Structure 1
Amino acid sequence: MIEVMQNLKNNGFEVVLVEDKNEALEYAKKFIKADISIGLGGSTTVAEIGLLDYLTSLKNIILFNQYEKNISGAENLKRRRDGLLSDLYITGTNAITKNGEIVNVDGSGNRVAAQIFGPKKVLIFVSTDKIVNNLEEAMDRINKICIPKNIQRCNETALKYGKEPKFNERNIAKKFSIIKGDDEGRIIIVLIKQRLGF
């Protein structure tokens, strides 16, 4: 773990190691200030640590929440676009290599785009079980775990809201990214020593 964290730091990322989802949530709260604008990327981990519920409960921030119920498709798209220019972007990741690379797959691309450029700060929450040896293992993890589970999750959500479950690999896994480094201090990776997300 020490080697991974050092490699991430060498690549320009800030890294924090926390014990569990409760500690992760408390750490996130340090970045939430009045009048800050916050964008969101798809992340089961962010929901599981309670951060999504916490953000939606606040009245003194500008939250571009594309997950709000009953918003139109046009409003959903607008909020995802607005999130790309937010003060703070909060998301997860699919894999981190031991060399300190962040690897992701995305459907629409807003999550990978925001990690690469746009928001002033990016908070990435990731459980330590997503650390893999190399890029080959990262892609293997994405193909065997992340894509199938995301298809299932999206189709279940569609059914829940009375929509057609039309998600498949073609519309879930369209955009891939490998981030080998970033400007120092922009991306903060919160490693969680608890199995979360997928």
Structure 2
Amino acid sequence: MEYTSIRKNFEKHGFSTQLFRTKEEARDYLVEILHNQTIGFGGSVTLLEMGLYEALQQNNAVVWHNKVPSRDVRRMAGCANIYITSANAVTEAGQIVNIDGTGNRVAMTSFGPQTCYYVVGRNKITPNLDEAVFRCRNVAAPQNARRINAKTPCAINGDKCYDCNSPGRICRITTVIDRAPMGMNCEIIFVDEALGF
């Protein structure tokens, strides 16, 4: 993967960027720069695979509903001054696309924290917006639905989005972030390996 132009495009859109070869290097970078912070985590298999929660918990207060499932924990994460998540897809042109079920993750990446970090594996990078949305709906969403045992056609079949009306549908809110939100520091941490869904 050639990251120079992708990073340049994100930087033109108001994001700062970092690039690491491995998830361990990216984890160590965040551990090194974050101390004595309140950190909220968005739902993310990427962060789980990195062991980032446990690593940051040593010197910070970290709030993550994956570890303590509840709406109250999601709300507490919403009050953090640092927010860390991943993306379902990013474009080479510098856009971030996410699909959410409850909206807590996409809300926090739009407004709230002083700083938002996205950890993005190379498998999440797409050539354009259409392919990013396709990836969100037909790659990330079915795997996430299956992971949480949703009773949806995509979870049962594990193959694609059926645009269902199931009560357990997790594709409820789709966001495209074209530029870093005003007043928020946003950093994209690219990792040159496949991470998450």
Q: Which runs of 5+ in 1 are unaligned?
A: 156-164
Tell me what 1:160 maps to.
none
1:20: which partner in 2? 22
| Deviation (angstroms), 1:83 | 1.5
Give the residue type in structure 2 aligned to 1:101: Q
Give the distance between the partners of 1:184 and 1:138, measured in 2 at CA: 26
Aligned to 2:107: 113
Alignment-mate amino acid for residue 175 of structure 1? I
For 1:23 and 1:62, locate their aligned partners in 2 and report how far apart those are by CA, in whole Å.
21
TM-score (norm 1): 0.85
State the shift of 1:32 in Å. Answer: 2.0
TM-score, scaled relative to structure 2: 0.85
Structure 2 counterpart of 1:175:
173
Work out whether 1:55 is the aligned partner of 2:53: no
1:8 Cα shift? Answer: 0.1
Q: Is the 8 A contact 1:21 1:49 kept in 2?
A: yes
Find out whether 1:85 has 2:79 as its counterpart. Answer: yes
Runs (5+) with no aligned partner, structure 2: 156-163
In 2: Cα distance, 1:79 partner to 1:195 partner: 28
1:2 shift after superposition: 1.0
Work out the CA distance in 1 between the residues paired with 2:90 and 2:194: 14
Equivalent pair of 2:31/2:56 in contact (CA under 8 Å): no
SS, match of residue 66 in structure 1: coil
User: What is the number of residues matched between the two proteins?
Assistant: 181
Q: Which residue of 2 aligns with 1:136?
A: 130
In structure 2, C-alpha distance between the alignment counterparts of 1:22 and 1:110, rounded to whole Å:
27
CA shift digits 1:134-181 (9 cap, x unpaired): 1100011112101110011111xxxxxxxxx54666531101100000
SS in 1 for 2:90: strand
4+ residue segments displaced more than 6 Å: none
Residues 11 and 17 in structure 2, CA contact (< 8 A), matched pair in contact too: yes
Give the Cα–Cα distance (whole angstroms) in 2 for the partners of residues 39 and 140 of structure 1: 28
Deviations 1:17-72 (A, max 9, x none): 100011011111133212x111110111111111022234x2x5322232235x6x
